[in-house]
Chain A
């Protein structure tokens, strides 16, 4: 597609439920990032995928969070047993550059998925 697409745009769930958030990157972009943006906070890095390499999961806040990506296509971020502190906007970004921003590659962001945990 023309840009990074994320779904759902809004999700309200009850504490303890599992949620899945989807990211469809720009076609051909090898790298994909997930960030979390909580109210009044900056963007927190969660996970990074680069082609078929092992993902960098160093930003995932707990084992309730996981993400998958098949090849260079869609990615899914899963949050199990959601807690109220998981309420945030989850942003996905993709880039063509193998080295990401350090190589001059611009990150293209989706509009985000707003998650509200009641």
Chain B
């Protein structure tokens, strides 16, 4: 069965600094990978997704992620963090079932310091 690991529960980054959130997945075939963001009091919003092709994918709000098959990773990056980026970030992989459910990691809470 597929699984997703986000090793960092919390990360604190200074405003303007770069950001990398880690995500490792376990899946036998070519994975379909996603990053979602959950801001306080709001639903989850899709940041970006990887299905195939170019391993570096661009998303909304200046985020990007790189798929590395050899490392089973799909890390999220942003070159310069803004205070409004403070939120919880979830990595997800499409499941094995025919109904295409998403399996989520436990999330990484991003805190942005002034």
Contact = CB atoms under 8 A, between A and B. Distances in A.
Contact of B100 (A91, A101, A111): A101
B77 interface: no
A101 B102 contact: yes
B104 A102 contact: no
A106 to B, nearest CB: 5
Interface string A84-118: 00000001010000011111101111111000000
A109 B43 contact: yes
A11 to B, nearest CB: 16
Contacts of A110: 43
A96 B41 CA distance: 24
Interface residues of A, number: 29
Interface in B69-114: 90, 92, 94-95, 97, 99-107
A43 B42 CA distance: 15
B34 interface: yes
B94 A42 contact: no
B43 A50 contact: no
Interface string B48-82: 01010000000000000000000000000000000
Interface residues of B, number: 28
A43 B34 CA distance: 13
B103 A102 contact: no
A112 B32 contact: no
Contacts of B95: 45
Given A107-B46, A109-B43, A109-B44, A101 B94 contact: yes
Contact of A56 (B42, B51, B97): B97
A65 interface: no
Given A50-B99, A101-B32, A102-B94, A43 B43 contact: no
Interface of A: 3-4, 33, 35, 40-43, 45, 48, 50, 56, 58-59, 91, 93, 99-104, 106-112
Interface of B: 4, 6, 9, 32, 34, 36, 41-46, 49, 51, 90, 92, 94-95, 97, 99-107
